[in-house]
Structure formats: C-alpha cells, structure tokens
C-alpha cells in the first residue's frame, strides 16, 4: 500500500505531498537543520562533490524544495541550475533565497512534476534530488523521467534517507524517528501528520541495493552508493549509458 501523509484524505499521494509541503514550507528549513542537527548540510556537500569532474554543467534539481541543493550545486560547481518542485510555497522560499544571494542569473525554479518533467530529452549534464524520491507517487516513472532528460553519460545524484542496519544504532535511530521527530516536527510545524509520514515513508522506501535495482530498471548505471552516518542517509551516484 502506498504511504501517504494524510490517511483520511482520498487525494492522490502526489496531491497530498504537494499540500503537505505547502503547509510546512515556512518552517521547513528550520526543522530540517534542527532535527538533523545540521548534518544534512554536510550530506548535500558530499552529494554535489560527486559531480566535481563536470566542467560547467547544466544541472536539474528535482524536488528542489527550498533550493538548498541547487544553491550548493552552483556554489561548488559554478554552474547553472534549474530547480523543479510541485509545492509552490516551497518554491517561494527558494526564490527568496536565490534573490537574497543574488543568484538569479544562475539559478531558476519552476513548478514541475517529477513524473512528467517539462524538458526535452537529453538536455542536462546532471540531475540531482535530495530527500525527494521517496515522495514520488510512482518511483519508477520519476527515475525514468530523470534519466530521459539527461544527456548520454550524464550523471544522477540522489540523496535520500535510509535505515541503519547496525545494532544498537538502528534501535536508537528508530526510536528517535518514530517518537521524538514526529513530536518536535508536529509541534513546530503545526502539521504532525507531515512528520509522522516522514518515518513511515523512509521505512517503506526501497533503499540500498533495492534502490540501485530501481535505477537499473529506469535505464541508469549505478556507480557508487555511499552511506552517511551509519546508514541514516545514502548518496546514490549513477550515470546514463552512452548508448
């Protein structure tokens, strides 16, 4: 069964996810950095570092949210980045950041569906997504779309939560994820269901080798899989074959 944010809603997962992020957009960045103790910033830097061999690439950041990964990509690669997201409120926050940093010439964001990207085939050197693929209504379709808009030999970087396997870190992590995080997130964001959905969506997500298999199904070639903090998150690195 598909994991959705609002159990009593009959809306599609895509619609619910858009509504959820619209609801929590004003507090999203604050909660992200608070609940991860700021470690998410380090993970984003490591994700973008995998693209350092690319020379002035044009990058698509899918599920860009408030634009943190897109901004990091420009900062590290001096490149042009286009961000897409289904949440208009999250995009408003991203636009404010871009304007404040004076990056409008390099970064742009627009409303867009990961499963029906509004771009022609083979136009980007790299596609990135941070903490977004588990929110796709159809994971395979979303990955296939990301592959489609990549140039041959283009690179894909996916940063996503995963579940630690090591005792006792796994048990501590699950306690924090299932009890502390939903409570704090719910109190601060005023949307407890959003932060109940977070651990549920992570636990149901096909991480590790299973995600590599999803990449292969979408036509990608997995290159690296780097666990972060004992497996709390994983960075997946893949490329689109030349043929």
Task: Give the tens place of pLDDT for each residue, 43-54.
Answer: 999 999 999 999
pLDDT of residue 106 exceeding 70: yes
pLDDT band (50, 70, 90) for residue 190:
confident
Q: What is the pLDDT of residue 98?
A: 97
Average pLDDT over residues 6-34: 90
More reliable by pLDDT, 116 or 190: 116
User: What domains lie within the chain, and their CATH numbers?
Assistant: 13-18+36-162+206-239 (3.40.50.150)
Q: What is the pLDDT of residue 235?
A: 98
136 touches 215 (CB < 8 A): no
Best CA proximity match to 219, nearest among 142, 144, 128: 144
Best CA proximity match to 78, nearest among 99, 48, 35, 117: 48
Q: What is the pLDDT of residue 129?
A: 98
pLDDT of residue 35 exceeding 80: no
pLDDT band (50, 70, 90) for residue 243:
confident
Q: Is the backbone of residue 11 left (phi > 0), alpha (psi -120 to 50) or beta?
A: beta
Q: How far apart are CA 169 and CA 201, in angstroms?
A: 19
Average pLDDT over residues 111-137: 96
Average pLDDT over residues 138-160: 98
Total residues belonging to the chain:
243
| pLDDT digits 0-9 by tens, 54-99 | 999 999 999 999 999 999 999 999 999 999 999 999 999 999 999 9
Q: Is the backbone of residue 188 left (phi > 0), alpha (psi -120 to 50) or beta?
A: alpha
Q: What is the pLDDT of residue 199?
A: 86
80 touches 106 (CB < 8 A): yes
Outline where the chain has alpha helix (H): 13-35, 39-49, 68-77, 88-100, 139-148, 169-175, 181-189, 192-203, 209-217
pLDDT band (50, 70, 90) for residue 33:
confident
Average pLDDT over residues 129-158: 97
Instruction: Say whether the peptide bond before residue 168 is cis (omega within 30 degrees of 0).
Output: yes
Q: What is the pLDDT of residue 186?
A: 84
Q: What is the pLDDT of residue 1?
A: 54
Q: What is the pLDDT of residue 60?
A: 98
**β partners of residue 116:** 113
Q: How far apart are CA 40 and CA 132, in angstroms?
A: 13
């Amino acid at each position: 069964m598909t994991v959705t944010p609002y159990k009593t809603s009959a809306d599609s997962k895509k619609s619910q996810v858009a509504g959820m992020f619209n609801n929590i957009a004003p507090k999203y960045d604050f909660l992200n950095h608070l609940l991860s103790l700021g470690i998410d910033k380090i993970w984003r830097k490591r994700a973008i570092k995998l693209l350092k061999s690319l020379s002035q690439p044009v990058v698509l950041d899918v599920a860009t949210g408030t634009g943190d990964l897109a901004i990091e990509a420009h900062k590290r690669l001096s490149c042009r980045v286009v961000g897409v997201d289904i949440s208009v409120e999250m995009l408003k926050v991203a636009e404010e950041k871009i304007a404040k940093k004076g990056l409008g010439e390099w970064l742009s964001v627009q409303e867009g569906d990961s499963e029906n990207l509004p771009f022609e085939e083979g136009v980007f050197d790299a596609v990135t997504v941070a903490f977004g693929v588990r929110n796709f209504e159809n994971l395979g379709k979303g990955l296939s779309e990301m592959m489609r808009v990549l140039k041959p030999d283009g690179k894909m970087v996916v940063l996503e939560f995963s579940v630690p396997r090591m005792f006792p870190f796994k048990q501590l992590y699950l306690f924090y994820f299932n009890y502390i995080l939903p409570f704090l997130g719910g109190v601060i964001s005023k949307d407890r269901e959003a932060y109940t959905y977070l651990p549920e969506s992570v636990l149901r997500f096909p991480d590790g080798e299973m995600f590599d298999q999803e990449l292969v199904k979408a036509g990608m070639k997995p290159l690296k899989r780097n666990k972060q903090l004992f497996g709390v998150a994983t960075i997946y690195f893949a490329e689109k074959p030349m043929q």
